[in-house]
Each structure stands twice: as structure tokens, then as C-alpha cells.
Amino acid sequence: MLFNSNAFYIFLPIVFVIYWLTPPKHRWGVLLVSSYYFYMSANAKYILLILLTTAVSYGTALVIEKTEEQKKKKLCMGLALLVCLGLLFFFKYFNFLSSSVTAILARASISMSPVTLKLVLPVGISFYTFQTLGYVIDVYKGKTKACRHFGKYAAFVSFFPLLLAGPIERAEHLMPQIEEEHHFEYDKAIRGAKLIAWGYFKKIAIADVLSSSVDIVYNQVTSFTGLALGVATLFYAFQVYCDFSGYSDIARGVACLFDIDLVNNFKSPYFAASVKEFWARWHISLSTWFRDYVYIPLGGSRTGKWKTYRNLLVTFLVSGLWHGASWTFVIWGGLHGAAQIFERIWNQYFPPGKEGKNRFRVLLTFAFVTLAWLFFRANTMSDAIYILTHLFDGITHPLSYVKECYVAFKKAGLIQSNELKLVLFWVVLLMAHDYIALREDVCQWFGRFGKPVRYTFYFALIFVVLYSRQLGEYSFVYFQF
């Protein structure tokens, strides 16, 4: 069940009404049942996986908290890691590892057929696996208490707004909200509705429109060259941002309807003045997860310069692999790790300074992030290499460089697209929103305008979403992870 599907438009109001009509002490049960129904609508049989992950993490956390023997604590944590990561590896990485080993052996003149399994990746497995592992590790470290109530813990793991694509919540933040009794707050519900509307605008009016253009180029890259590849990659930079941050906004908004706060996963990432700052603003719940559970345990920045560089690179290589079982994702992660190492060395000699320099760094960071996205989007490694090697073909002749892009896009039917022309204006509106968000809460800023202005904007936003939705129903990019 997608957030932008007709089924969800029916599902959400029903759950909302039942939740608030149910006595407060039993509302966690409504969340649990509705979350399991929501997940089973994608593939009913995979509910067994989330139940197994929930049961193992719940049980091991209780044992870890009760026992005083360090050896037993480590054994229980190891069991949780083995089961949860084992399931993730089997479904997501088995075929990738098999084909990679076969390719390596082939280079050594050892011929063998890869062992592949016909597996369908369970939706959301990467997200709920990391959420449960974070919980067990935090209990092991004494940062959070083990939950005694299995039902409420199961609701924490499966809470439907974040189940399929995050944000990855920490137990110390979300668990108390699941356990406590809630009372309806009108202002919070209105705030949630605004977040939902803004999320749908980003997803349907921007991401989905750009998606069709990006797919035309990236699904037949050898038919394009030069600036056309660059424009498609730029389009993808905004597509993936609006798609994923739009999902996160909808998730946060839906949670607000149930008086629950989720972490803000995006904070104007394309205004970052460094790759390090970009990751402090992009997919924040994931970047902080890798920081706390991978980078710091490796030694962080406490083990000397060269080991710090190693820790950064390893963390981002693992992050790339988390995103997808493909070498293109590994390279994408490695590029971000290498960029942070370069920044650390560069800043030793040329520290960030004046505002003008920072603006230049914002543009430079955006250019790097956009270029790196081509590995994230490319269907194969050969496609990624083709784009990288043909991206600047003809750039020494600027007029023909632009003209060839125009001709290629016109031939593909993109120049004639009114929706694509309109989406460029929506991107400007989006960036204006993100620029304001750097300094203050946008809802509070917009609240200074009179009701006629605000309500005109709200209705216009809804109209744009409904109009854009006629173009088709597209899945969310991060559902594949």
C-alpha cells in the first residue's frame, strides 16, 4: 500500500477515526493491528519476517537487561545481530554476493555458474532491521530500558508511517510515545495535515513528473550524450530529494494525526556547504545511525588521522551497500566517504571563512552530490561509466553543446511537456521553502500572512497535487531499499 494510492486514502481516515474512538490505554493496539494490515497489503507472507525480527530483538533485549554476566550479554546481542542481519543479507545480498564471487573467479580463469535464488526483497526490511538493531544495541549499552510489553514493542517496530521507508527511529524517542496515553490536539493534527499536503506536493507534483523524464534518458543512456545526460542527472537530484523527503513529510504528518512526533529526516540538504554538512541534513536518521553504530565503534575520529580516514571510508562504503545490492551503490557511498576525507585535508589549509566563500562551497557541494547521484540512479555499472565519460562531450563548443541537448530532448518529447515546464517553477518554490527553513520554521513564517493568502496557497497546493496525480501513480524510490 503506497502513500499515494487510493487504498491508503481510504485506509488512513478509517484508522484515524478508530484510533481516537478507542479508549486511550488501548490505542497502541489500534496502531499495531493497522500497521500489520498496512504491511501485509504489500505481501502478506513477509509479515512472518517482521514478527521474527520483532520477537528476537524483544527477547534478547530483555535477557541483556536482566543478566549481569557480560559474556551472556554479548552472546544475546550477537544472536540478535546474527538473526536480523542474517535475514537482511539473505534476501537483499545473497544473489549479489554470489554473482560477485563468480565474476571474481572468472577473472582468475575459474569457471562456475552463479547460485541465484528467486527472491522478492521484503518491503522495508532495511529500515525495520536497523531500527530493531539500534534498540538492542542501546539496551546493551544501557542507553535505553528494555520494553516489557511485547505488543507495544511490536507497535514501535511496525508503526506504519515509518515502516516502509523510515525515518529510522530510536527507542528512546518513539517508544515512550507508543506507551503513553494520547489526547487529540487540533493544532497538531492541522500541522500534520500541512506536512502531508507538502509531502504530496513534493512527491506527486515534482518527483513523479521528473521521474518520467529521467527514466527516458537513464533507461536508454546510449541514445543521449553531453548536456542531455547532465540535465537528466540534475533532474534526478531533485527527483530523489522530493521523492524521499516527500515520503518523510507524509510520514511525519500522518504520525502527527495520532499525536506522535517522528524525527525530521531532511533539513535543506542542497544548501549544505560541505559533504559532511550534506549528511547532517540528508536522511538524518540513517546518517546518525551509521555514525553511532558503525563509525564510532570503529574508533571514530579518536584513533588518529589515517584511521579516521579509514573509518569514514568504511562507514560510507557500508552505507552505499545498505542502499542497494549493486557495485554502483558501493561506489556512490565510497565517493561520499572520499569527499569527506578530501574536505578534512583541504580544511586544514583552507578553512571555511567568509559568507561569499561559503556560497561557493554550497554550489560546489551541490555539483558534487548531483554528479555522484548518477551512480545511484544508473541501471548498471556500464551505464554509469557511459554517462561519466560522455557527460562533457562537446562542452568546448557551448552553443552546439546546448543545441544538441535541446534536439535530443525534443526528439524524446520532453521539450513539448507542459508538466515538465511547470515543474521547474515548483523546484524554485521548493528551494525558496528550504532557504527559509534554514533560518526559521516555515509554518510559523507563513503564519504571519493573512488568512486570504494562506488559504489561497493551501487550495492551490491541493489543486496542483490533484492535477499532477492524473499523470500516474509512481512508487517511492526508497521502497527498493
CA angle 477, 204, 14 (to 5 degrees): 95
Q: How far apart are CA 379 and CA 221, in angstroms?
A: 10
12 contacts 254 by C-beta, under 8 angstroms: yes
257 contacts 250 by C-beta, under 8 angstroms: no
For residue 418, which of 355, 378, 373, 467 has the smallest C-alpha distance?
467
263 contacts 248 by C-beta, under 8 angstroms: no
Annotated active-site positions, please?
323
CA dihedral 130, 135, 139, 141 (to 10 degrees): 40
Cβ within 8 Å of residue 410, ≥6 positions away: 416
**Cell of residue 105, nine digits:** 573467479
CA atoms within 13 A on the CB side of 46: 19
**Cell of residue 331, nine digits:** 561506489
- Residue bearing cell 513523479: 208
CA angle 443, 447, 453 (to 5 degrees): 115
Q: How far apart are CA 282 and CA 479, in angstroms?
A: 17
Under DSSP, is residue 197 helix (H, G, I), strand (E, B) or coil?
A: helix
